[in-house]
Amino acid sequence: MPKLSTWINAARLRTLPLSVSGILVGTALAGFQGSSDITIFILALCTAIGFQITSNFANDYGDGVKGTDNEDRIGPKRVLQSGLLTRKVLKRGIVISIIINIIFVVAVVYLAFGPENLGYIFLFMALGAFSIWAAIKYTVGASAYGYRGLGDVFVFIFFGLLAVLGTMFLFTKSISLTAVLPAMSIGALSTAVLNLNNLRDHESDKASNKNTLVVKMGFEKGKVYHTFLIAIGLICLLVYLILEFQCYFQLLPLIVFIPIVLQLKRVVKTGDPSLLDPELKVLAISIFFLSLLFYLGNNIFCNFG
């Protein structure tokens, strides 16, 4: 029986803070409108983490089976690649994680909408099923979209638009037009994390026929694309803060603009893909703290004041 530490390794804990960023921002947007529920918040966090763990298990399995994870890969060793888990055991872990995800989805949707809103329940159950499908099909199967340069689109949708606006809707049963801006911000910044991963791995991905956008456009253009994503992410959030400004605590996320811009500067100057691995953690943690400060500024400090 595999050790717990092996499953923790497969879950890739360093990716989990990024997965909850959209939940924090969506909850903050709802709180700013006076809607809050701690139980829904906790269940939404658990659901997002569950989706991310399922995605990580499936990504480990898909890349391992295809041979993309090999000795040429720069990042951390994967459990299937290292032989810590067999295909059969890892596949069983994916199934179990999917079952747990379904339980969380049913719980948060029923609590948020109740039996009187069956339309919303069916809609969010469908979105939950789509999220599970997307988590698995990123690298698993012959038609894995991550191997066709579509990973960026799915990250933007699921980590940004769906996570932020979907969470807001759980609380408020509505979505404001300006809420699209922070949703786009988190989506673009999360996509930048994926792009960093693809910049780091572009040589091994190319050799394994994993046609990410970076493989298609090249390393240097990939850095230009990274600059574009960071710029869109920061500008969208800044515009939202200007449009919805009510108190100075809302400006707390601007503090995190500094490490994000410094990280961007280092990426642009880097010519060696192996040096980009530490920047993945820097950007992911920066996005998490940006979301946390957004949550505190909009949902707690302004309301408290």
pLDDT digits (tens, 9 = 90+) for 19-56: 999 999 999 999 988 898 999 999 999 999 999 999 88
Whole-angstrom distance, CA of residue 241 vs CA of residue 298: 10
Whole-angstrom distance, CA of residue 109 vs CA of residue 111: 5
Whole-angstrom distance, CA of residue 181 vs CA of residue 32: 15
Q: Per-residue pLDDT averaged across 153-181, rounded?
A: 95
Residue 143 has pLDDT above 60, yes or no: yes
Which percentage of the chain shows pLDDT scores above 70? 93
pLDDT digits (tens, 9 = 90+) for 180-230: 999 999 999 999 999 999 999 888 888 878 888 998 999 999 999 999 999
8 A C-beta contact, residue 267 and residue 279: yes
Write down the residue that tokens 């969470």 correspond to: 167
Long-range pairs, 142-148, Cβ under 8 A, ≥24: 144/62, 146/59, 146/62, 146/210, 146/212, 147/66, 147/209, 147/210, 147/211, 148/211
Task: Give the sign of the dihedral formed by CA 141, CA 142, CA 148, CA 153.
Answer: negative
pTM reported for the whole predicted model: 0.92
Query: How much is the pLDDT for 74?
Result: 62
Which are the contacts of 142, defined by CB distance < 8 A and separation ≥ 6? none
Return the higher-pLDDT residue of 204 and 101.
101
Q: How many CB atoms lie within 10 A of CB 247?
A: 13
8 A C-beta contact, residue 266 and residue 279: yes
Of 290, 305, 300, give the one whose Cα is nearest residue 34: 300
Residue 152 has pLDDT above 70, yes or no: yes
**Length of the chain measured in residues:** 305
8 A C-beta contact, residue 202 and residue 221: no
Whole-angstrom distance, CA of residue 70 vs CA of residue 82: 9
pLDDT digits (tens, 9 = 90+) for 53-95: 998 888 877 777 766 655 655 656 677 777 677 888 888 989 9
Whole-angstrom distance, CA of residue 98 vs CA of residue 119: 23
Whole-angstrom distance, CA of residue 75 vs CA of residue 268: 19
